[in-house]
Amino acid sequence: MNTKRPTLSLQPKARPAPARSPRPERPPRAALSSGVRPDLKADSLAMALVGAANALAQMRAGTTLPQALQVAFGVAAAGPQLRGAIQDLAYRGARQWGRTQVLIGLMTSKAPEPPLLAALLGVALALLDTPAGASAPYEAFTVVDQAVTAANAHPDMAHGKNMVNAVLRRFLREKDSLLAAALREPEAQWNYPRWWIDSLRQAYPRDWEAILAAGNAPPPLTLRVNVRKTTVEAYLATLAAAGLGARQIGPVALRLDKPVPVEQIPGFADGLVSVQDAAAQLAAPLLDVRDGMRVLDACAAPGGKTGHLLELADLELTALDADAKRLTRVQENLDRLGLTARLKAFDAQSRVWWDGQPFDRILADVPCTASGIVRRHPDIRWLRRKSDTLQLATLSAKILDNLWQMLAPGGKLLFVTCSLWPQESEAQAAAFAVRHQAKRLAAPGQLLPSQAPDADHDGLFYALFEKSAA
């Protein structure tokens, strides 16, 4: 048996720029002790396992995975290669969390403590239980050896190193029977909480299985071509010259055959394209903006739709967001595109920032459970509670009512949410129309997440309203 501790062979995988994180967010917290033995090699799989376990333990404590990863990167003093490996393992572990935790329950008499140890086992099992059609990134013996090394190297897990060894080896011996037993549980079969599965089945009795499957798949990398600087045809030629295959899946939407880091995308730094899901690219055109209009992009961060609006017309645009730090991301995107807008850090429920001049168009991309973008944010399913739907729908209704007061007669308001729950989408839109006698115009309504070749997109909802000119 090869006893040499392997170095990282898992290269950082290309991952699309994250979609807007679900809000509200909880502050990050470190997962127990951060120290590891100084002899643990920084380029080892064991170190990557510690980092990923740290992030997943934070996730289970209520922190979003992107926030948790930032803490984990600091704990591991991670360079680019290690950061990529930690991120890949953490996302893999989050996507398979339901199954791995059921498996752990089948093989242990009580939950491993502390949570960091349970998270380490979860990540290791996710590597050993490779999804159908995917290749295993490591040999099984390597995963076991490095998981034991990781446990032994961390003061909060060292007591469990023998248990880690025993559980992982038992899984390899009894894999078929253990998986058969685990898959009797819906959480293990689908890798979602039971309430989530039940809610989808109730809302979409014909589509719930396809929706769950789409949410478990890694997302594509979709680009939006900046028509101010190039054309779809010209940019496809640019990609081809760079050896990158792509196909058009929307008016200005291109999906790369294989995701690559943004720094490898030709012209990205110069604003020729932006990373944006195909469903999200529908927002700006629906508002039918024209030069000279006063436009409000409420809840604007990270700014993808802001930039798209400004690419379509010369606008007097205000980008509003409650989080000043998130507005920094909006400004960075606008700078890259060579566009300008007024940025205001205020809650969309207030009007203290408003100058009293009505807007011709308002984009209301309101806070929600983000249940339609779980393929990009697999942690959402484990962070959300069923009660969050009502709380966020109530908040969104207040925001929509407030924004309607700022819309000019004859103006249009586009209500957008990245939720699949009818309470946050269609029911919200119908109630809003009744409250304000708002005329509802043609819009896509509920888009279900899809992996179809010509419709590979997230699950978003659109409702477009026009204010009476009288």
Domain extent listing, the chain = 45-190, 220-276, 281-466
Average pLDDT over residues 86-107: 96
The verdict on whether omega for the bond into residue 302 sits within 30 degrees of 0, i.e. cis, is yes
What pLDDT score does 34 carry? 55
pLDDT computed for residue 37 by the predictor: 74
The number of C-alpha atoms within 13 Å of 312 and in the hemisphere containing its C-beta is: 22
311 versus 9: the higher-pLDDT residue is 311
pLDDT at 224 over 90: yes
- For residue 275, pLDDT over 90 is answered with yes
CB neighbours of 379 closer than 8 A, spacing ≥ 6?
A: 59, 64, 65, 68, 94
Assign domain 281-466 to its CATH architecture: 3-Layer(aba) Sandwich (3.40)
| CATH (one of 3.40.50.150, 3.40.50.2300, 3.30.230.70, 3.30.70.1170) for 220-276 | 3.30.70.1170
Helix, strand or coil for residue 465?
Answer: strand
Q: Catalytic site residue 418?
A: yes
**Whole-angstrom distance, CA of residue 196 vs CA of residue 219:** 20
Query: Contact at 8 Å (CB) between 153 and 36?
Result: yes
What is the per-residue pLDDT for 133? 65
Q: Compute how many other C-beta atoms are within 10 angstroms of the C-beta atom of residue 149.
A: 22
| Mean pLDDT for the stretch of residues 183-206 | 97
pLDDT mean over 6-33: 41
Tell me the pLDDT band of 20, cut-offs 50, 70 and 90. very low
- Confidence grade of residue 77 (pLDDT, cut at 50, 70, 90): confident
Peptide bond into 114 cis (omega under 30): yes
Task: Read off the pLDDT of residues 421-433 as tens digits, 9 standing for 90 and up.
Answer: 999 999 999 999 9
Please report which confidence band the pLDDT of residue 413 belongs to, taking 50, 70 and 90 as the band edges: very high
Residue pair 122/143 in contact by the 8 Å Cβ criterion: no
What confidence score (pLDDT) does residue 43 get? Answer: 84
DSSP letter for 228, please. Answer: T
CA distance 272 to 293: 24
Helical packing angle, 161-173 and 140-153, nearest 10°? 160
CA nearest 437: which of 461, 401, 406, 389? 401
Is 463 within 8 Å of 415 (Cβ atoms)?
yes
pLDDT computed for residue 18 by the predictor: 41
pLDDT at 359: 98
Element (H, E) at 256: strand 253-256
Q: What is the pLDDT of residue 76?
A: 67
Question: How far, in Å, CA of 1 to CA of 141, rounded?
Answer: 9
Greater confidence, 334 or 40?
A: 334
Task: Flag the least confident range among 71-75, 110-114, 463-467.
Answer: 71-75
Classify residue 243 by burial, with Cβ atoms within 10 Å: 0-12, 13-18, 19+.
exposed
How many CA atoms, within 13 angstroms, populate the side-chain half-sphere of residue 320? 22
* Token pair in block for residue 187: 């959480």
**Span 24-48, mean pLDDT?**
66
Catalytic residue among 283, 310, 418, 438: 418
Q: Which superfamily, per CATH, for 45-190?
A: NusB-like (1.10.940.10)
User: How many CB atoms sit inside 10 A of residue 312's CB?
Assistant: 18
The pTM for the full model equals 0.89
Q: What is the DSSP-derived secondary structure letter of residue 44? A: B
Residue 78 neighbours by CB under 8 Å, 6+ apart: 42, 51, 72, 86
Q: Are 377 and 419 in contact (CB under 8 A)?
A: no
**Other Cβ atoms closer than 10 A to 257:** 12
Q: Which H or E element spans position 443?
A: strand 439-446
Q: How far apart are CA 66 and CA 78, in angstroms?
A: 15
Section 351-356 average pLDDT: 96
Beta strands in 155-198 (DSSP E): none
What is the model's pLDDT at position 267?
97
Task: Specify the residue for token string 């890798």.
Answer: 191
Whole-number average pLDDT of the chain: 91
Helices (H), 288-436: 304-312, 324-337, 380-383, 388-404, 426-436
148-151 contacts: CB < 8 A, separation 24 or more? Answer: 149/5, 149/40, 149/44, 149/46, 150/40, 150/46, 150/47, 150/49, 150/50, 150/53, 150/120, 151/117, 151/120
Geometric angle at alpha carbon 452, from 446 and 457, rounded to 5°? 45
